[in-house]
Amino acid sequence: MQHSLVIIGGGYAGTTLVFQLARLPNLRITLIDASPVHLAQAKLHRYLAGDLPFEEVAYDLSHFCTKYGATFVQGRVTGVDSLSKQVHTENETLSYDSLVVATGCTSFFPKQIENIHAHTIDIKLPHDLQEAKKRTEALFEESAHNHTIAIIGGGLSGAEIALELAQKAKDFPHVRIALVEQKPTPLPGMDTHLTQAALKACETLRVKRYHGAFVTAAGDKALQLSDGREVPFSLALFVIGVSPNVPAFTPPLSLTPQGLVDVDAYCRAKGLEDVFALGDIVCSYDANGSQNLPTAQVAKQQAKHVAKTLKALLAKRALPRPQSVVNKGVLVDLGGKNAAGLSFGVPLYGKTAYLVKRLVCRLHTRIF
């Protein structure tokens, strides 16, 4: 009798788990996602700048599942009943023996910002990403007027988008890039090596930076900052942050005050031995007791550990020893073939960092 595994979410964790468990005897895998494609988040800035076609950042989930003997269901999950072991979508109900929830995060658009609803382009969604690319390209092509593309949020995604677009703008003098980040530097909270490299890249590529204030209103042609300054723009992309996208459970899942799923050492939801939670929606810790950040490497490592646990359960073996996520480092594109990073604590610069990041991206996308 086949064991039914249902995975909700076709992001880094969900696709890694399908790959790890591919064609395992007596296991039937169903992957559910509202989107027909997996977006390689680490490459979105290069798509927006025109360096990559859509097909190299968006991977067909139906084709992917067929390749590995799984079933893909495109649909929005409306609820999960953990008592009857059923997942409800808009169109059907699926039963499971084991469930993995890897639904990731959604972009955060603060309602406190006046008129924010007019600028809610969510680059984490395929259609919105393509719309952002379309609007960006139009500004580069329309040279009769000067244009400013404003990126709000100077974290990893925001900084990479701003710098990649600024690199392109070197050949389009009518386009300027502005970066709004409340903290004193881009990449706030990251290692000084990375923040200094980002600052240097911003200066080299003439990115206009606004620090020490936050956006209070988004007009038709200018952002209003909390200190009274205005940021003119032709296009505004908000990349401020994310919030966990946890599906509704009956009974409700145990969540932290931050809305993250509380899990044990095996990534099982507290009180539910047949429900696992992975990636951005999970509150987990590394070997040093520090909370893991919502990154692709964390999601992929958790998926690999859960795959080992599921294999042991199916084979009726003792569970493997729990493993903490290992922080292997971080890599940041700084425009063109320039990047910076830390790999196991070792600083990387320039083209070397750029090539290492391309390799890391390829190690994931090769499974498609």
Per residue in 263-318, pLDDT (tens digit) is 999 999 999 999 999 999 998 877 777 787 788 999 999 999 999 999 999 999 99
pLDDT, residue 174, reads 97
CATH 3.50.50.100 range(s) for the chain read 3-107+243-327
Q: How far apart are CA 238 and CA 116, in angstroms?
A: 9
- Does the structural domain 116-240 have CATH classification 3.30.450.20? no
Average pLDDT taken over every residue of the chain? 95
Classify 3-107+243-327 by CATH class: alpha beta
Length of the chain measured in residues: 368
Report field, pTM of the whole predicted structure over 0.75: yes
For residue 147, the cross-strand partners are 175
pLDDT, residue 290, reads 77
pLDDT, residue 234, reads 97
pLDDT, residue 205, reads 98
CATH 3.50.50.60 range(s) for the chain read 116-240
Torsion of the alpha carbons at 203, 179, 208 and 163, rounded to the nearest 10: 40
Q: How far apart are CA 46 and CA 150, in angstroms?
A: 17
SS3 for 364?
Answer: helix
Strands 215-218 and 222-225: antiparallel
* 73: pLDDT strictly greater than 80: yes
